[in-house]
């Protein structure tokens, strides 16, 4: 039986806001790429508008935001709002960073699919994306 060739999962990894710490984002980007996904990394200091515009241009399946600056309660809702405006409701939004548990609950209730905190293995992130993005 011939195996159906699956389209690669496309993920945008973004560092919105003024946070200059991108080591974790780069590690996740490389791990996802090594796992066979197509990864677009935006670099530092992106606005929510730039992130969503790039996601639209690149036709991604998921957007991953790395936020260590404490601005997660602004940045995630703003990106979700822009995604809705641009018709990207079928694109998954997930993130990582130093985010308090009570804020994670609120962000997930708004529509953020998952938040990965420090210490999460790259394998966990890869498995989560594979299980939650249907190609």
Q: In the chain, where are the structural domains located?
A: 10-130
For residue 126, count other CB atoms closer than 10 A to its CB. 18
Give the model's pLDDT for residue 5: 60
- The model's pTM is 0.94
CATH number, domain 10-130, options 3.30.1950.10, 2.130.10.10, 3.30.360.10, 3.40.50.280: 3.40.50.280
Query: In this predicted structure, what is the pLDDT of residue 2?
Result: 46
CB 69 within 8 A of CB 44: no
Q: Which residues of the chain have pLDDT under 50?
A: 1-3
Nearest Cα neighbor of 20 from 55, 76, 65, 67 is 67
Q: Buried b vs exposed e over 91-113: b needs ≥16 C-beta within 10 Å?
A: bbbbbbbebeeeebeebeeebbb
């Amino acid at each position: 039986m011939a195996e159906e060739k699956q389209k690669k999962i496309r993920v945008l990894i973004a560092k919105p806001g003024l946070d200059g710490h991108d080591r974790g984002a780069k590690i996740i980007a490389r791990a996802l790429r090594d796992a066979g996904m197509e990864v677009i990394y935006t670099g530092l200091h992106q606005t929510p508008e730039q992130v969503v515009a790039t996601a639209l241009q690149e036709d991604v399946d998921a957007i991953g935001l790395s936020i260590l600056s404490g601005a997660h309660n602004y940045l995630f809702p703003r990106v979700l709002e822009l995604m809705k405006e641009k018709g990207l409701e079928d694109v998954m939004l997930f993130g990582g960073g130093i985010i308090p548990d009570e804020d994670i609950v609120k962000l997930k209730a708004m529509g953020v699919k998952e938040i990965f905190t420090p210490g999460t293995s790259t394998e966990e992130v890869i498995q989560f994306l594979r299980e939650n993005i249907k190609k």
